[in-house]
């Protein structure tokens, strides 16, 4: 039986007292053995946490006691191993960093499209489909026909949207645009940005890729590959089953089977994506950290026995 419940959730809402909210939230997480990360900003909350089922539900109940978060939605997944090892509650300017002032998903965002209706939207030849995630995420998997902006961070997307030829038509009219991301939060902002720039027909996948993979069967899916997630599962497939990709502990990039079989791959030290960017001294330090981590893991296993 899988022991650890992961809950991912976010909500754009005015949290003017977010700084005062932090210690209460951290205390609740510690009381219920919750690990993970919660971001708080005046514009809302964004989080992925994990722990015992009762503890995770206690945290969600605590959050929903606040009238502003009463309708907070979350996604669940199970794992045999703890996805996180620390609990962090961080205060931020934005719960997802875009860096464009005045963009408010609560005031103006795109039209939500349910996962069951997403395929039908993508069959419209006039729709421009944009993957709003970072390049390493897109490399792992994406929707058939989606445009990859080749961005390193979400903050690079506004400039790309301004400059790309993909959003320019011969008539000068603004095209229909469909956007998607992992859980939906980045699309809340990116569609709000396009609406501010005068795009009237802007759509985004409700619940993100994760909800699509949870809802749509593999036989009817337009998704190709796996979906990168920001926890120890690394990637998931349909049914949110953990995928085959692993994580490079040195650069935090997802690794396919071929990457792990490369001569440049060394657990905790390097992979084909980062081997050339670190010195031998840095690799030596990484080897020592990996050795210490493995020794600590052995000690914990003996203590449990």
Q: For residue 192, give the H/E element and its range.
A: helix 185-196
**First and final CA of the chain: distance in angstroms?**
19
Q: How far is CA 81 from CA 35, 84, 85, 271, in A?
A: 12, 9, 10, 24
Q: Are 249 and 285 in contact (CB under 8 A)?
A: no
Active site residue: 181, 187, 248, 271, which one?
181
Respond yes or no: is residue 227 known to be catalytic: no
Tokens of 289: 């950290």
Q: Name the residue among 131, 112, 127, 83 with its Cα closest to residue 242.
A: 83
Q: How far is CA 258 from CA 236, 237, 242, 245, 246, in A?
A: 18, 18, 18, 10, 11
How many Cβ atoms are within 10 Å of 36's Cβ, its own excluded? 25
Q: Name the residue among 101, 106, 164 with its Cα closest to residue 132.
A: 164
Q: Are 265 and 242 in contact (CB under 8 A)?
A: no
Q: Are 267 and 250 in contact (CB under 8 A)?
A: no
By annotation, the residues acting in catalysis are 181
């Amino acid at each position: 039986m899988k022991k650890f419940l992961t809950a991912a959730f976010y909500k754009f809402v005015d949290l003017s007292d977010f700084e005062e909210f932090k210690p209460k939230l951290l205390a609740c997480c510690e009381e219920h053995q919750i690990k993970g990360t919660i971001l708080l900003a005046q514009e809302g909350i964004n989080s992925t946490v994990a722990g015992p089922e009762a503890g995770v539900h206690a945290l969600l109940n605590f959050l929903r006691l606040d009238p502003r978060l009463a309708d907070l939605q979350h996604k669940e997944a199970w794992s045999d191993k703890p996805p996180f090892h620390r609990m962090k509650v961080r205060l931020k300017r934005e719960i997802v960093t875009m860096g464009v002032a005045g963009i408010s998903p609560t005031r103006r965002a795109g039209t939500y499209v349910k996962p069951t209706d997403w395929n039908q939207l993508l069959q419209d030849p006039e729709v421009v489909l944009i993957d709003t995630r970072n390049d390493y995420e897109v490399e792992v998997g994406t929707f058939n026909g989606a445009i990859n902006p080749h961005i390193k961070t979400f903050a690079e997307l506004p400039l790309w949207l301004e400059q790309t030829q993909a959003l320019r038509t011969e008539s000068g009219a603004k095209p229909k645009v469909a956007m998607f991301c992992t859980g939906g939060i980045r699309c809340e902002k990116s569609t709000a940005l396009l609406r501010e720039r005068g795009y009237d027909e802007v759509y985004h996948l409700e619940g993100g890729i994760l909800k699509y993979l949870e809802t749509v069967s593999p036989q009817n899916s337009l998704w190709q590959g796996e979906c990168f997630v920001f926890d120890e599962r690394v990637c998931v497939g349909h049914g949110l089953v953990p995928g085959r990709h692993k994580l490079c502990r040195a650069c935090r990039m997802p690794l396919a089977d071929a990457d792990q079989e490369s001569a440049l791959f060394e657990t905790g030290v390097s992979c084909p994506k980062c081997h050339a960017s670190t010195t031998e001294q840095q690799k030596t330090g990484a080897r020592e950290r990996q050795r210490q981590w493995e020794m600590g893991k052995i000690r914990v296993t003996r203590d449990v026995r």
